[in-house]
Amino acid sequence: MFRTVLIANRGEIAVRVARTCRELGIRVVAVYSTADRDSAVVRLADAAVQIGPAPLRDSYLNIPAIIEAARQTGAEAIHPGYGFLSEDPVFAEVCHEEGLVFIGPPPGVIARLGEKSAARALMAEHGLPLLPGNIAPVSGLAEAAAAADRIGCPLIIKAVAGGGGRGMSVVRDASELGEKFETTRATARALFGDDRVYLERYLRHARHVEVQILADQHGNVVHLGERDCTVQRRHQKLVEESPAPELPRDVADRMGRAAVEGARRAGYVGAGTFEFVVDGTTGEFFFLEVNCRIQVEHPVTELRTGIDLVEQQLRVAAGEPLAFGQDGVTGRGVAIECRINAEEPAREFAPAPGVLDRFAPPDGPFVRVDSHAYPGYRIPSAYDSLLAKLIVWAPDRPRALDRLRRALDEFAIGGPGVSTTAEFLRYLTSREEFRDAVHTTAFADQAARHWAAATTRS
């Protein structure tokens, strides 16, 4: 096992990784920007290195500064968390060249699966079902129009290099194609430095379900069950749960086997997630993409299986074989996670940073809160708005929902000018569509419009 690990990230995931490292007796090195000098992980770490000013390109995306911090502190390995450099094959390759272990898949695997068109081609080759659409990127508007005629509307335009719910546009009528094609390309160019896009069918009544996998360096691959991530705003997740409610077990099992086979064929190593979309009308499922990193929603899988995913990442990266096979993975009960963001739901989830004068998370049986916040914490405007993740477990879904409601009621969080999604999540998860598990990917945006109208009236 490693003696020293540097965490190339910030916020709650940096704290989360640090805690498992400490439990394993691993020395923790944190990196931080000038905006994060008072962050929780800096206080928790054994050593901390400032790597630059607040802008991401000068700090958390500054590869030379992160590598130098690892050199200075004697780190043997780098955990990238999620976002930032976690799926950057260049960063993974630089780590390798510098004699550092990158805690994630090999650079070639990240490159192949990070490009969505290449990932789709690989999975199609090995029999995973795809939505009708392009395998290769479209070269221009004329080719996009031809593809749209073949696919039919509604369809979705996606950036080849996209991720995190960014770089995609839904086309509901052919008259929108030209404008949305150019807008999506421009957005992809600005966000990812790559304006290539592809088209695929958009399901009106869809659920978003993903499968967690683990693979070691010795050819062993297992899945740890599925998570339902259907509750999304603007293609970004708000609520996740496991197992997926009302998903037939035979469908879930087939998805798990498909994810394991896809990971094995790709030469995957580490923790990863295979994402699928399920047609709410037919029950068919289709491969979407692979996330080559730990997921924000990994705690729901941990609570159901009792497996520490960060620990498994560390052990796999250190060369250990998985200590269990597929038969050794057992899911119990129901776990649900809500993301508490510093956002104003009534204003289309606009960021609402400020200083927290209240931060008192809930407690009690089977309630977990992953966070980097504390009373007096100044929420930086330069970064993602995630403040905390509330995760609950119960033997069945009705009791898990009751526990979630209780915990949300207890969550005291706020400050001057600070708005969060906590109250909206209380409203969202108490709605009949969610409690009856008949919601689709359109549910959260529709609920947000009702919430905004009600808030304005009051």
Q: What is the pLDDT of residues 165-208, one digit of tens each?
A: 788 999 999 999 999 999 999 999 988 889 999 999 998 888 99
In the prediction, which pLDDT does 235 show? 78
DSSP string, 263-288: HHHHT--EEEEEEEEEETTT--EEEE
In the prediction, which pLDDT does 74 show? 98
Whether residue 148 lies inside any domain: the answer is yes
In the prediction, which pLDDT does 380 show? 92
Residue 140 sits in the same domain as residue 231: no
The CA-atom distances, in angstroms, between 117 and each of 186, 280, 354 are: 18, 25, 40
Among 182, 201, 220, where does a domain finish? 201
Alpha-carbon distance of 296 to 398, in angstroms, equals 24
316 close to 217: Cβ distance less than 8 angstroms: yes
Residue 283 sits in the same domain as residue 428: yes
28 close to 18: Cβ distance less than 8 angstroms: yes
78: domain CATH number is 3.40.50.20
204 is catalytic: no
360 close to 408: Cβ distance less than 8 angstroms: no
Q: Which tokens belong to 67?
A: 């590598």
Is it the case that residue 455 has pLDDT exceeding 80? no
Among 201, 217, 245, where does a domain finish? 201
Whether residue 110 lies inside any domain: the answer is no
Residue 271 sits in the same domain as residue 162: no
The mean pLDDT value for 109-116 works out to 91
Residue 287 sits in the same domain as residue 418: yes
The mean pLDDT value for 305-313 works out to 98
Q: Residues 16, 233, 293, 315: which is the catalytic one?
A: 293
Q: Please return the burial class of 307, using the count of CB atoms within 10 Å of its CB with bins 0-12, 13-18 and 19+.
A: buried
Residue 245 sits in the same domain as residue 390: yes
Residue 216 sits in the same domain as residue 173: no
In the prediction, which pLDDT does 267 show? 96
Whether residue 389 lies inside any domain: the answer is yes
Residue matched to tokens 């690990």: 5
Q: pLDDT confidence of 313, banded at 50, 70, 90? A: very high
What is the extent of the structural domain holding 183? 132-201
Q: Which tokens belong to 315?
A: 């052990």
Residue 225 sits in the same domain as residue 183: no
Whether residue 116 lies inside any domain: the answer is no
408 close to 354: Cβ distance less than 8 angstroms: no
Among 201, 227, 261, where does a domain finish? 201
Angle, vertex CA 105, rays to CA 2 and CA 86, nearest 5 = 85
Residue-wise pLDDT tens digits, 377-407: 999 999 999 999 999 999 999 999 999 999 9
167 close to 158: Cβ distance less than 8 angstroms: yes
**% of the chain beyond a pLDDT of 70:** 99
Residue-wise pLDDT tens digits, 397-449: 999 999 999 999 999 999 998 999 999 999 999 999 999 999 988 898 888 88
Whether residue 126 lies inside any domain: the answer is no
DSSP alpha helices (H): ranges in 98-228? 107-114, 116-125, 141-151, 177-192
Q: What is the mean pLDDT of the chain?
A: 94
The mean pLDDT value for 231-257 works out to 93
Query: Across-strand partners of 371?
Result: 388
In the prediction, which pLDDT does 164 show? 65
245: domain CATH number is 3.30.470.20
Residue 228 sits in the same domain as residue 193: no
Whether residue 111 lies inside any domain: the answer is no
Residue 97 sits in the same domain as residue 214: no
Hey, how many other C-beta atoms are within 10 angstroms of the C-beta on 363?
10
Please tell me whether residue 6 adopts helix, strand or coil conformation: strand
Residue 242 sits in the same domain as residue 324: yes
Q: Please tell me the total count of domains within the chain.
A: 3
Residue-wise pLDDT tens digits, 338-372: 999 999 988 888 899 899 999 999 999 999 999 99
Angle formed by the axes of helices 89-97 and 107-114, to 10°? 170
195: domain CATH number is 3.30.1490.20
Residue 272 sits in the same domain as residue 342: yes
Count Cα atoms within 13 angstroms, Cβ side, for 352: 22
In the prediction, which pLDDT does 451 show? 85
Q: Look at strands 27-33 and 47-52 and give their pairing.
A: parallel
Please give the model's pTM, rounded to 2 decimal places: 0.93
Whether residue 125 lies inside any domain: the answer is no
Q: Which tokens belong to 453?
A: 């109208």
Whether residue 401 lies inside any domain: the answer is yes
In the prediction, which pLDDT does 101 show? 98
The mean pLDDT value for 66-85 works out to 97
Residue 137 sits in the same domain as residue 85: no
Q: pLDDT confidence of 287, banded at 50, 70, 90? A: very high
